[in-house]
């Protein structure tokens, strides 16, 4: 290579796929989109660049450190780091044009300058749905979202999965009742590690925060609760925690859990999990996490929850909402890495048309007929030996080759070769179209 060339390198933390992988990625993205649309969520496509003031109205901590922020002329700009802040902006800005409850989906790229490491992306797709109410929003919406998640993951076919549900009011009420509000962040972080470090270590670490052992006992009893929905709700009430927030949380969780069934989610696909919290600032009621049963180690593949106020940093209007999000880029990486999905020999064209004669008229005619029948195809348009042309079909995973030669033209037929089996038949174009369909 000449010395004055620039090395063409994609940045670390940015996913760029080979064509067959891209086809698989697009298939998954489209299944998510179509399912969101089936449930009547409206599409949005907000800008990737926003004013930094707007994007960071509420942010802080990690978000602020990770954000891509820069000046252009006199403007202080930033790249969106999620799709929720842009939604808050959108709903406030277009309030008078929208009808509530406003149901929208957005599938788009977001940006976070995280430390680069395997499987962590700085540019990644989020696939979000949210339902935004005006002043209030029925708990039925909290029960409907799991049915959207259920339909998405059933459609995606990554195996059995479980939607875990909790209510933030229960956790907040519990800590409130125990006088542990100030420690709640730390305690939740410790509880979160229970799968890794075990029960005893959790007790020890919470103790190190200066929490008395009777309170630790209550916490451990709380997170130890198991059983089906009715059993769990009963156990929660049996804890005899007299705190309004806690009681409201238990009532909400009971109502939502019962209605989830109503929305057609089979019982084996959802359960109450009292340990999930989804961060502390944002969610105020129902929270969701979703796990692939056979690949629990992937972490939650679809999460979200209920919030009291979507846009309090922009407006005094009360806009409660509930939503969930799929982090598609990371999920795709993980599934691909674990070979749960495989790009394999995907191809965009169903057939390659090879002409044995110089005049391409017949080949192009055949291609047009195929396309009119909804079959993606291409005519080989570069000079080259027949072998090279078949090789092109092979390397591009194109499953069928149609050969047009003098005999085919004379007899008004086509030769159709199945590239996998090697079988070749000479048939009418109509028959070929039926096979290709």
Residues in 365-404 that interact with its own copies by CB under 8 A:
365, 368, 371, 376-379, 381-383, 392, 395-396, 398
* DSSP symbol at 100: S
Query: Strand pairing of 42-43 and 102-111?
Result: parallel
Residue number, 188 or 364, with CB nearest to its own copies: 364
Region 151-170 residues binding its own copies, contact defined as CB under 8 A: 151
Region 261-300 residues binding its own copies, contact defined as CB under 8 A: 262-264
CB of 26 to its own copies, least distance (A): 6
Structure tokens that stand for 351 in this block: 């057939």
Contact pattern for its own copies over residues 314 through 353, marking x by CB under 8 A: xxx-------------------------------xx--x-
Among the listed ranges 139-147, 172-180, 192-200, 272-280, the one in contact with its own copies (CB under 8 A) is: 139-147
Query: Which residue in 64, 82, 114, 123 binds its own copies (CB under 8 A)?
Result: 123
What's the Cα-to-Cα distance from 201 to each of 140, 158, 204, 278, rounded to whole Å?
39, 34, 5, 22
Return contacts of 394-399, CB within 8 angstroms, 24+ apart.
Answer: 394/419, 396/347, 396/349, 396/352, 397/20, 397/345, 397/346, 397/347, 398/347, 398/349, 398/350, 398/351, 398/352, 399/345, 399/347, 399/350, 399/351
Query: Which residue in 228, 230, 345, 361 binds its own copies (CB under 8 A)?
Result: 361
* DSSP symbol at 124: E
Region 16-45 residues binding its own copies, contact defined as CB under 8 A: 16-19, 22-23, 25-26, 37-45
Q: What is the dihedral of CA 186, 192, 196, 200, to 10 degrees?
A: 60
Residue number, 124 or 246, with CB nearest to its own copies: 124
CB of 145 to its own copies, least distance (A): 10
Structure tokens that stand for 377 in this block: 């195809």
Residue number, 140 or 209, with CB nearest to its own copies: 140
20 membership: H or E segment, kind and range: helix 19-38
Helix (H, G, I), strand (E, B) or coil at 350: coil
96 touches its own copies (CB under 8 A): no
Query: Which residue in 185, 220, 239, 364 binds its own copies (CB under 8 A)?
Result: 364
120 touches its own copies (CB under 8 A): no
CB of 197 to its own copies, least distance (A): 33
CB of 235 to its own copies, least distance (A): 27
133 touches its own copies (CB under 8 A): yes
Query: Which residue in 31, 63, 64, 101 binds its own copies (CB under 8 A)?
Result: 101
171 membership: H or E segment, kind and range: helix 168-177
- Of 79, 311, 289, residue with least CA distance to 166: 289
68 touches its own copies (CB under 8 A): yes
CB of 94 to its own copies, least distance (A): 7
Question: Scanning the structure block, which residue is given the tokens 């149609």?
Answer: 402
Contacts with its own copies: how many residues (CB under 8 A)? 101
**Residues near 331 by beta carbon (within 8 Å), at least 6 away in sequence:** 298, 301
Residue number, 214 or 382, with CB nearest to its own copies: 382
CB of 262 to its own copies, least distance (A): 6
144 touches its own copies (CB under 8 A): yes
Structure tokens that stand for 141 in this block: 């919406």
Query: Which residue in 186, 313, 356, 426 binds its own copies (CB under 8 A)?
Result: 313
Query: Which residue in 63, 138, 183, 426 binds its own copies (CB under 8 A)?
Result: 138
CB of 88 to its own copies, least distance (A): 7
Largest CA distance in the chain: 93
* Positive or negative: CA dihedral 291, 165, 233, 211: positive
CA distance 19 to 159: 25
Residue number, 98 or 239, with CB nearest to its own copies: 98
């Amino acid at each position: 290579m000449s010395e004055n060339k620039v090395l063409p390198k994609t940045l670390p933390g940015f996913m760029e796929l080979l064509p067959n992988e891209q086809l698989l990625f697009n298939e998954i993205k489209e299944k998510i989109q179509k399912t969101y649309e089936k449930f009547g969520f409206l599409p949005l496509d907000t800008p990737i660049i926003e004013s930094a003031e707007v994007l960071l109205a509420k942010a802080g901590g990690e978000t602020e450190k990770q954000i891509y922020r820069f000046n252009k002329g006199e403007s202080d700009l930033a790249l969106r780091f999620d799709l929720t802040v842009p939604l808050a902006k959108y709903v406030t800005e277009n309030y008078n044009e929208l009808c509530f409850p406003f149901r929208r989906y957005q599938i788009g790229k977001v940006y976070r300058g995280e430390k680069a490491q395997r499987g962590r992306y700085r540019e990644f797709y989020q696939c979000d749905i949210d339902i935004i109410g005006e002043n209030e929003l029925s708990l039925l919406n909290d029960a409907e979202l799991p049915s959207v998640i259920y339909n998405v993951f059933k459609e995606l076919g990554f195996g059995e999965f479980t939607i875990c549900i909790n209510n933030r009011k229960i956790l907040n009420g519990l800590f409130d009742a125990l006088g542990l509000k100030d420690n709640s962040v730390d305690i939740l972080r410790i509880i979160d590690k229970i799968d890794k470090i075990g029960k005893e270590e959790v007790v020890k670490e919470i103790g190190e925060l200066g929490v008395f052992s009777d309170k630790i006992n209550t916490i451990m009893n709380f997170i130890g609760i198991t059983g089906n929905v009715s059993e769990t709700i009963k156990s929660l009430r049996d804890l005899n925690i007299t705190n309004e927030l806690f009681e409201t949380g238990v009532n909400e969780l009971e109502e939502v859990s019962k209605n989830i069934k109503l929305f057609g989610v089979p019982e084996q696909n959802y359960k109450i999990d009292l340990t999930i919290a989804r961060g502390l600032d944002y969610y105020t009621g129902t929270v969701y996490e979703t796990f692939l049963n056979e690949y629990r180690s992937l972490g939650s593949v679809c999460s979200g929850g209920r919030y009291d106020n979507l846009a309090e940093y922009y407006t005094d209007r009360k806009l409660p909402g509930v939503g969930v999000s799929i982090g598609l880029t990371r999920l795709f990486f993980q599934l691909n890495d674990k070979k749960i999905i495989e790009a394999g020999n995907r191809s965009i064209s169903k057939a390659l048309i090879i002409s044995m004669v110089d005049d391409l008229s017949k080949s192009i005619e055949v291609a047009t007929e195929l396309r009119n029948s909804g079959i993606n195809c291409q005519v080989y348009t570069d000079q080259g030996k027949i072998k090279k042309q078949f090789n092109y079909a092979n390397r591009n995973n194109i499953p069928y080759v149609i050969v047009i030669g003098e005999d085919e033209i004379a007899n008004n037929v086509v030769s159709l070769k199945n590239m996998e089996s090697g079988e070749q038949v000479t048939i009418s174009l109509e028959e070929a179209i039926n096979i290709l369909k």
